[in-house]
């Protein structure tokens, strides 16, 4: 090799080595930057978690102050379907759907000597199934669910966990057959509040008034009222409410009734999330009335009916206010 060729080769080698050093430096700087960003992110997450805990504690202190606490939440469920010439179905031309709405509201007052808990619940729903090839088929939405409930509980505190109380509760439908039947409970007794969010009503003196139109098997009676209500909100956006309302008639099981509802919601964004609600009910008077007046079984009695469990559930978009 000539002297010029050797010098050119050395310069190229130095330039290549310099380029590799620069590239490696950028890589090291990038790695350091990513690690620094990840460390900063972890620090901010810890700070955010701590602030969320502090906010939750402050909200708990605010809720514990004497005065009114109000709010509302619910679920909306919608399912719509339409088929045209879908020949794998037994009915290839059809449309169907279901719409359900629940609304739960409350207005509660609490101080050192008294409490007053007021709540209302509404659950309505409609369904349809239209066979387009059958002119006589029902085309419109038909009512499926209709539940209406109002309750008011007043208590005079005797200790930290016990209070003398009075309860008024009304249950019926609202879209059709309002107050037919309708149930009005009025009673006095005691209320136990073992922990925040849970109260248990124990009223041995309770009048259960049942309203209905015309001749029916519904009958009012005296008995004991037992109601338990539990509600809880978690910091991760999960809310839960459960209510069990029971009337134990002194005339026996035929005049007794109970209803248990559970609501669950998970907030995904602001006040919107996903929700689920389910309800169970046992009522022998309603079962017998259905057998006689709907199924036209005039020979039905309390001893012959199959008192099946009444149930419903709704799943859909939830909202909180």
More confident: 87 or 248: 248
From residue 22, how far is each of 10, 18, 33, 35 by CA, in Å? 18, 6, 16, 20
CA 159 to chain centre: 31
What per-residue confidence (pLDDT) applies to 72? 82
Residues whose CB falls within 8 Å of the CB of residue 219, separated by 6 or more in sequence, listed in order: 210, 251, 255, 285
Contact 75, 102 (CB under 8 A): yes
Q: How many Cα neighbours within 13 Å face the side chain of 307? A: 18
Per-residue pLDDT band for 129 (boundaries 50, 70, 90) equals confident
Let me know: does 220 contact 251? Beta carbons within 8 Å: no
Tell me the two tokens of residue 124: 């309505």
pLDDT at 206: 97
- Asked if residue 226 has pLDDT above 80, the reply is yes
Residue 5, pLDDT score: 58
pTM of the predicted protein model:
0.74
* Residue pLDDT, tens place only, 278-318: 999 999 999 998 898 888 888 899 999 988 899 988 888 88
Q: How far apart are CA 64 and CA 60, in angstroms?
A: 6
Q: Is 189 left (phi over 0), alpha (psi -120 to 50) or beta?
A: left
- Residue entry with tokens 């005797």: 158
pLDDT at 208 over 60: yes
Pick the CATH number of 66-320 from 2.40.230, 2.60.40, 1.10.3470, 1.10.8: 2.40.230
Mean pLDDT, rounded, for 237-254: 91
pLDDT at residue 257 above 70? yes
**Does an H or E element contain 248, and which?**
strand 238-249
What is the mean predicted confidence (pLDDT) over 37-58?
72
User: pLDDT value at position 6?
Assistant: 57
pLDDT in the model for residue 219: 92
Least confident of 53-57, 188-192, 195-199, 231-235: 53-57
Dist CA 281 CA 238 (whole Å): 25
| Summary mean pLDDT of the chain | 83
3-class SS of residue 270 = coil
Residue 60's pLDDT band (boundaries 50, 70, 90)? low
Q: Where are the domains of the chain?
A: 1-65, 66-320
The H or E element that residue 23 is part of is: helix 3-64
DSSP-derived 3-state class of residue 1 = coil
**Which of 17-21, 96-100, 153-157, 304-308 holds the top average pLDDT?**
153-157
Determine the length of the chain. 321
Is residue 182 within 8 A of residue 171, CB to CB? The reply is: yes
Q: Residue 196 carries which DSSP code? A: T
More confident of the two residues 180 and 67 = 180
Higher pLDDT, 205 or 236: 205
Enter the tokens of residue 154.
């007043």
Do residues 161 and 146 lie in contact, with contact meaning Cβ atoms separated by under 8 Å? Answer: no
**pLDDT for position 253:** 92
Model confidence at 7, in pLDDT bands (50, 70, 90)?
Answer: low
């Amino acid at each position: 090799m000539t002297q010029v060729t050797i010098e050119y080769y050395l310069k190229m080698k130095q330039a290549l080595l310099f380029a590799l050093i620069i590239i490696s430096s950028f890589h090291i700087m990038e790695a350091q930057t990513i690690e620094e960003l990840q460390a900063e992110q972890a620090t901010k997450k810890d700070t955010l978690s701590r602030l969320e805990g502090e906010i939750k504690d402050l909200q708990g202190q605010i809720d514990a102050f004497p005065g009114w606490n109000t709010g509302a939440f619910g679920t909306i469920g919608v399912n719509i379907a339409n088929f045209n010439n879908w020949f794998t179905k037994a009915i290839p031309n059809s449309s169907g759907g279901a719409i359900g709405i629940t609304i739960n509201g409350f207005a509660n007052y609490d101080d050192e000597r008294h409490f007053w808990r007021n709540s209302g619940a509404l659950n309505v729903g409609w369904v349809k199934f239209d066979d387009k090839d059958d002119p006589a088929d029902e085309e419109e939405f038909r009512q499926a669910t209709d539940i209406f409930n109002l309750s008011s509980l007043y208590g005079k505190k005797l200790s930290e966990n016990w209070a003398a109380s009075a309860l008024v509760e009304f249950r019926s439908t609202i879209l059709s057959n309002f107050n037919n039947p309708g149930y009005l409970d009025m009673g006095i007794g005691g209320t136990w509040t073992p922990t925040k969010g849970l109260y248990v009503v124990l009223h041995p003196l309770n009048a259960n008034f049942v309203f209905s139109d015309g001749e029916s098997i519904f009958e009012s009676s005296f008995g004991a009222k037992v109601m338990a209500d539990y509600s809880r909100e978690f910091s991760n956006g999960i809310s839960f409410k459960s209510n069990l309302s029971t009337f134990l008639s002194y005339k026996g099981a035929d005049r007794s009734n109970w209803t248990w509802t559970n609501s669950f919601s998970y907030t995904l964004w602001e006040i919107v999330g996903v929700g689920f609600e389910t309800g169970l009910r046992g009522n022998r008077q309603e079962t017998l009335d259905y057998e006689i007046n709907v199924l036209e079984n005039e020979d039905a009695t309390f001893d012959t009916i199959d008192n099946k469990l009444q149930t419903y559930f709704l799943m859909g978009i939830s909202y909180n206010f």
